[in-house]
């Protein structure tokens, strides 16, 4: 016969099993959580709300995760809500976190950058930020 302390059919067996189940559930949730995360801007050129002495040749936005090229957009509008970029937004093929669009030589004024991206997991995020050219 098995000594009482080692037997699994006593009342102690189920009590020890519950904490082990909780550890497994928490571990599975921790592994699955990053897979459902959205991507958000990490930094940009020009920086958010930055005042520039000269117009930038492009707007570049880096995200905190890879983005889908087909579903990601970037546009720049002037204060009159007219699109001013060259309509060539693209995800950099060597850096799937970088979305960029080229610009013509912009006159002094206020501009708004609008972005919309889809993460590799299918979640969409969007937003905007301003910059100004002196």
Q: Per the structure block, which two tokens stand in for 63?
A: 């995200």
CA distance 43 to 53: 20
What integer pLDDT is reported at residue 9 of this predicted model? 55
SS3 content of the chain, % helix, strand, coil (to 5): 20, 35, 45
Q: How many CB atoms lie within 10 A of CB 96?
A: 16
What confidence tens digit (pLDDT) does each residue in 92-124 have? 999 999 999 999 999 999 999 999 999 988 999
For the chain, which residues score pLDDT lower than 70?
1-36
Question: pTM of this prediction?
Answer: 0.73
Where exactly are the structural domains of the chain?
4-35, 38-133
Please state which CATH number belongs to domain 38-133: 2.60.40.1220
């Amino acid at each position: 016969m098995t000594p009482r302390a080692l037997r699994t059919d006593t009342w102690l067996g189920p009590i020890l099993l519950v904490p082990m189940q909780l550890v497994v559930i928490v571990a599975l949730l921790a592994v699955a959580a990053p897979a459902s995360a959205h991507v958000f801007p990490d930094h940009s050129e020009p920086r958010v709300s930055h005042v520039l002495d000269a117009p930038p040749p492009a707007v570049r936005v880096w995200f905190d995760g890879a983005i889908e090229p087909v579903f990601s957009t970037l546009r720049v509008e002037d204060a009159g809500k007219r699109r001013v970029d060259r309509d060539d937004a693209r995800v950099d093929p060597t850096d799937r976190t970088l979305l960029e669009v080229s610009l013509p030589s912009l006159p002094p004024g206020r501009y708004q950058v609008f972005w919309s991206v889809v993460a590799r997991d299918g979640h969409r995020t969007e937003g905007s930020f301003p910059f100004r050219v002196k």
